[in-house]
Structure 1
């Protein structure tokens, strides 16, 4: 690992560029620690362009920590619908409840206290502290590790959790004590727009300070070992309706994958049985008029579903499978649904299905 010799010049170059070129994002127009907390949770593993409408809708519906703390979980999940990683929403609500109950509705302003809150890790803690309160604390995410690995020729594997400590130390050494908010956001912005996996070095405001650029090694860094091969599971989902135009759904368990969200009947295709055989075996019903809807992949952090979906009818002679209910289209709209179900439902609503 090398060093940056002219730290003041580096900070000045980064901050000047950030103030001149930063994107106009809604969470950058506030110093409210709750709003910044919400934005940082949403931005984890989600693109900025995707987050903006979710953030604005979320803040409109839960404008204070008290409104979120007392919100019904179904309403919370509906606001989060489509963002994925729904445990983030539940953890955010749990953390906000702790603030309301234990801190009088004031988000703690020290790393020690804020880090005790549910769902608040080192990055989120540093982001809220530096951006909302102006506390010089590190906020190291993937973008920042990519930037710093190139600037300082850090060759440690960023896929190993303990490596993050190295980056936290170097950021604390470089951070601008007068404006830590802009410094941290500047590093994040640089990683998101310039120092990307395929870096745009000719546009970089701190290129003169970059050891990897001077050695022509910028595309070698950061070092990151590949993940083990993801498990792929073939899955079939059935949008089942009855003679009254109602749709069959059930709520997933309160723990585990997509916890608490509503889904159509779904089966894993792990043997050679026909679809009607598997449906009857698992749900005890006979489906009629099977029609293709969509085929697509849905990628989780650890598995991929290869989804096939079908439209089907259920006769009045079959009993409703255990755990399922029929819902009107208006009721289906109001239920919080995971992305695969949303895709199927949107296709049905577009009227492409007979």
Structure 2
């Protein structure tokens, strides 16, 4: 037997739990802070939400700290050089987020006088802000009653109500359940509380049901199906693509680099010249070298996985004369950390 879920009781139980167990986040204003009259900074909430898209909290923490230290306000970020922001973002992945980060910051400054709009519909008009992010900013930054449905919340709802419809088809049903529980009182804290519940208690593989504040109401716990949920439609196998990158270093130590086009994968990021990435039977040198030189194929290869495909890169290296044409970055200004992960893997291979 289980208790009947009550839309009034469940949020109160969860908020009581959150007041004692809220995770500490560099962008979060916790329950104790709120009691002292401290309110969230919409800039920091927006920044964290953009970074957290398809990225773990553990990965985001250091990036977030670096960004807000270097650019503490939206005006400071809006005034930053594109290359500097893209360099700081390198390694975080999903680089369209970084391009939209700059576009959004500049629109907030130009259109909204440097103040993030509190209106949900206005937030949706900003670059890079979709329904999920707008709901998160509205709830967490402005304490408005909006429902945030991320992977953690989907899992909690699927288990609480024993919903076996597989994702993504179940999203509308899970959203309806989540919306029904979202309270008018402390909606920002509640949004963070239910995400924390999924991240720390209602975890994917080993849920700690015995210490869950909602254990008495959980239908999946009652039927013993919690480990199975949420169900997901099997993904199609990712295709394998191959390509070649060319690492040219001048005799004075400068590296030949290019800024990738704004649109497309790794858009706006620094990278090595190279071929297109195509599906082929096996790795082999592809494309045309950027400069004439005695190119050598490195032993080994770069392997990297993107959202929609796996990639294998052949790495070619050469030393070229000082007078070689091209966009060379001097040795003292080249930072491997400015490269996206797949390009940094190629550099690391060249240094072995």
If the TM-score is normalised by the length of the shorter chain, which range does it land in? 0.7 to 0.9
Partner of 2:122: 113
SS in 1 for 2:221: helix
SS in 2 for 1:100: helix
Q: Which of residues 328, 331, 336 is equivalent to 1:329?
A: 331
Structure-2 separation of matches of 1:203 and 1:139: 23
Partner of 2:147: 138
Change (3 A) 1:183 1:234: same
Partner of 1:21: 21
Partner of 2:218: 210
Change (3 A) 1:155 1:343: same
Question: Shift of residue 4 of structure 1?
Answer: 4.9
**Residues 1:339 and 2:348 aligned together:** no
Q: Contact 1:237/1:264 (CA < 8 Å) preserved in 2? A: yes
Q: Which of residues 31, 34, 47 is equivalent to 1:38?
A: 47
SS in 2 for 1:28: coil
SS in 1 for 2:8: helix
User: Runs of 4 or more off by more than 6 Å in structure 1?
Assistant: none
Question: Shift of residue 103 of structure 1?
Answer: 2.3
SS in 1 for 2:159: helix
Question: Shift of residue 137 of structure 1?
Answer: 0.7
Structure-1 separation of matches of 2:220 and 2:46: 33
Structure-2 separation of matches of 1:344 and 1:155: 43
The TM-score with structure 1 as length reference comes to 0.86
Structure-2 separation of matches of 1:104 and 1:62: 17
Change (3 A) 1:337 1:52: same
Question: Shift of residue 37 of structure 1?
Answer: 0.5
Q: Which of residues 228, 231, 235 is equivalent to 1:220?
A: 228
SS in 2 for 1:127: helix
Q: Which runs of 5+ in 2 are unaligned?
A: 30-38
* Superposition CA RMSD, Å: 2.7
Q: Contact 1:14/1:186 (CA < 8 Å) preserved in 2? A: yes
**Residues 1:307 and 2:313 aligned together:** yes
Q: Which of residues 94, 98, 107 is equivalent to 1:85?
A: 94
Structure-2 separation of matches of 1:307 and 1:313: 16
Deviates more, 1:134-143 or 1:192-201: 192-201
Structure-1 separation of matches of 2:129 and 2:322: 51
Change (3 A) 1:209 1:307: farther
Q: Which runs of 5+ in 1 are unaligned?
A: none
Output one character per residue of 1:66-119: Cα deviation in whole Å (capped at 9) or x when no partner. 112222211111121111111112212222322222223222222222112111
Question: Shift of residue 302 of structure 1?
Answer: 1.1
Question: Shift of residue 334 of structure 1?
Answer: 8.1
Structure-2 separation of matches of 1:318 and 1:80: 32
Number of positions where the alignment pairs a residue of Structure 1 with one of Structure 2: 339
Change (3 A) 1:119 1:288: closer
The TM-score with structure 2 as length reference comes to 0.86
Question: Shift of residue 122 of structure 1?
Answer: 1.4
Structure-1 separation of matches of 2:214 and 2:181: 13
Partner of 2:194: 187
Structure-1 separation of matches of 2:255 and 2:144: 52
Question: Shift of residue 255 of structure 1?
Answer: 1.3
